[in-house]
Amino acid sequence: MKERDIKTVVKEKYGKIAVQSDESAGTGCCCGPSSSCCGTGFTDFSESYDKLDGYNADADLGLGCGIPTDYAGIKKGDSVLDLGSGAGNDCFVARALVGAEGHVTGLDFTAEMVDKARKNASKLGFDNVEFVSGDIEEMPLNSNSYDVVISNCVLNLVPDKRKAFSEIFRVLKPGGHFSVSDVVIKGELPDKLKEDAEMYAGCVSGAVQIDEYLNLIHNAGFKDVDIQKQRNIELPETLLGKYLSVNEIETFRKGDTGIISITVTAYKK
């Protein structure tokens, strides 16, 4: 798929999720347990936020694959940027960490998500959390502006990850750092899984090899790149059966190929 086509698919899918989440609040979509939003039938590999300070259920659409704020080292007064902020889930957790003296910005290119996040922030009465429309590959944000950048299961959906990490480096302050939870691949996924448009909005097909992912971070200029957490993601038989034969599924299960959720941190020095 061309980059423009991938972005169109992702924008349409996540716009639909934002709208449907208002109609069926709390069901989760795409990376969550409900198949009604994306049609992928994923099992839920998002993690529970409900015990975290700042958690707001209206902002949790079950779209993540980790909790990047756990490893972000966010301090009182920090300026934090969340990439692909969706309905605002990670932003509101970050706001609890920065306090009233800090500032949190959420960036998302899906208009429906930005609108939903702004409504959630308004309900909470926050005046130091803002949501901005924009593309991660070309952020409409000033350079050297943020102490911490976070992102949750989003960068794998960005077609040009080199641009994405270059932009993260640009907007971070010198000495700043990022904490990103994302999906990566070990080994080669079958082409049918990689190329299907539906999967691009299902958090898997846009993913790259773990070594390639880490190299992109290093090549963007980051130092002290560390994987803080990783876990295997098991795709259900019902999903694999849509794309692979019984024999292909058996081969896939027995091979070294895997889909992994990782949380990575790195510093701009």
CATH of 3-267, one of 3.40.50.800, 3.40.50.300, 3.40.50.150, 3.40.50.2300: 3.40.50.150
Confidence band of 80 (pLDDT split at 50, 70, 90): very high
- Whether the per-residue pLDDT at 267 is higher than 80: the answer is yes
Largest pairwise CA distance in the chain? 58
Residue 30 confidence (pLDDT): 43
d(CA 175, CA 169): 10
Q: Do residues 171 and 128 lie in contact, with contact meaning Cβ atoms separated by under 8 Å?
A: no
d(CA 32, CA 45): 7
* pLDDT, tens digit (0-9, with 9 covering 90-100), for 93-110: 999 999 999 999 999 999
Which residues pair with residue 261 across a beta bridge?
183, 231
Say which residue the tokens 């080669």 belong to: 188
d(CA 200, CA 207): 9
CA-closest candidate to residue 169, choices 190, 207, 141: 141
Listed range (4-8, 103-107, 116-120, 221-225) with the worst mean pLDDT: 4-8
Confidence band of 10 (pLDDT split at 50, 70, 90): confident
> Which class for 125: exposed (0-12), middle (13-18), buried (19 or more C-beta within 10 A)?
exposed
Residue ranges in the chain assigned as alpha helix (H): 3-23, 89-98, 111-124, 161-171, 191-195, 197-200, 210-219, 237-240, 246-254
Q: Within a 10 A sphere around the Cβ of 228, how many other Cβ atoms?
A: 16
d(CA 70, CA 177): 14
Residue that wins the pLDDT comparison between 243 and 42: 243
Confidence band of 36 (pLDDT split at 50, 70, 90): very low
* % of the chain at pLDDT higher than 70: 87
The mean pLDDT value of the chain amounts to: 87
Domain-wise residue ranges, the chain: 3-267
Residue 47 confidence (pLDDT): 87
Instruction: State phi, psi for 148 to the nearest 5 degrees.
Output: -140, 135
Entry pTM: 0.87
Q: Do residues 112 and 47 lie in contact, with contact meaning Cβ atoms separated by under 8 Å?
A: no
- Whether the per-residue pLDDT at 260 is higher than 80: the answer is yes
Residue 20 confidence (pLDDT): 81
Q: Do residues 80 and 61 lie in contact, with contact meaning Cβ atoms separated by under 8 Å?
A: no
**3-class DSSP state for residue 30?**
coil
* pLDDT, tens digit (0-9, with 9 covering 90-100), for 164-203: 999 999 999 999 999 999 999 998 877 777 766 556 556 6
**Residue count of the chain:** 269
Q: Do residues 169 and 268 lie in contact, with contact meaning Cβ atoms separated by under 8 Å?
A: yes
- Whether the per-residue pLDDT at 24 is higher than 60: the answer is no
- Whether the per-residue pLDDT at 32 is higher than 60: the answer is no
Residue 202 confidence (pLDDT): 62
Residue 6 confidence (pLDDT): 81
Residue 14 confidence (pLDDT): 84
